[in-house]
Amino acid sequence: MEIIFLTFILVLSVFLGFELISKVPATLHTPLMSGANAISGITLAGAFLAAGATDNDMASWLGGAAVAFATINVIGGYLVTDRMLGMFKSKRGQ
């Protein structure tokens, strides 16, 4: 049942993703990509399970590395996206 439930979520999210992203204008495609980089750092939530939940050394090492990689994505992705989007100014704003 769990498999069906997770697949259900997957299918709906894919459709929603296509709807949302196809409305993003070409001007913002680079920030969209770096924003997507940040979102893919969501594996952090999964990495915690691996890093802290067992006392197996190997699992901790792998989990710790996963936490580090995912945090690079989250922090780096959001900061650089914000930096870029801050540069997009309207004519009226000047």
Partner 1 sequence: MDIAIYTNLAYIVAAALFIFGLKMLGSPATARRGNAFSSMAMLIAVIAGLIGSQAVSYEVIVVGMLVGALIGTLSARLVAMTSMPELVALFNGSGGASSLLVGWATLYYFEGDVVPTFTAATIVLAILIGGLTFTGSLIAYGKLSERINSAALVFSGQRVLNSALLLAIVACAYLFCMDPSATSVYLYALLGLALLLGVMAVIPIGGADMPVVISLLNSYSGIAACAAGFAVGNNILIVAGALVGASGIILTNIMCKAMNRSLANVLFSGFGAAKTAKAVEGEVKPISVEDAYYILEAASNVCFVPGYGMAVAQAQHVVKELGKILEANGCEVSYAIHPVAGRMPGHMNVLLAEADVPYEQLVEMDDINPRIENVDVAIVIGANDVVNPSAREDPDSPIYGMPIINVDQARTVFVLKRSMASGFSGVDNPLFFGENTRMLFGDAKESISGVIGEFG
Binders in 24-53 for partner 1, by CB under 8 A: 24-53
* Collapsed DSSP state (helix, strand, coil) of residue 41: coil
CB of 91 to partner 1, least distance (A): 4
CB of 4 to partner 1, least distance (A): 11
Using CB atoms within 10 Å of the CB of residue 81, give its burial: 0 to 12 exposed, 13 to 18 middle, 19+ buried.
Answer: buried
Q: Counting contacts by CB under 8 A, is residue 4 touching partner 1?
A: no
Q: Counting contacts by CB under 8 A, is residue 13 touching partner 1?
A: yes
Residue 72 in contact with residue 18, Cβ under 8 Å? no
Which residues ranging from 73 to 92 are in contact with partner 1 (CB under 8 A)?
A: 73-91
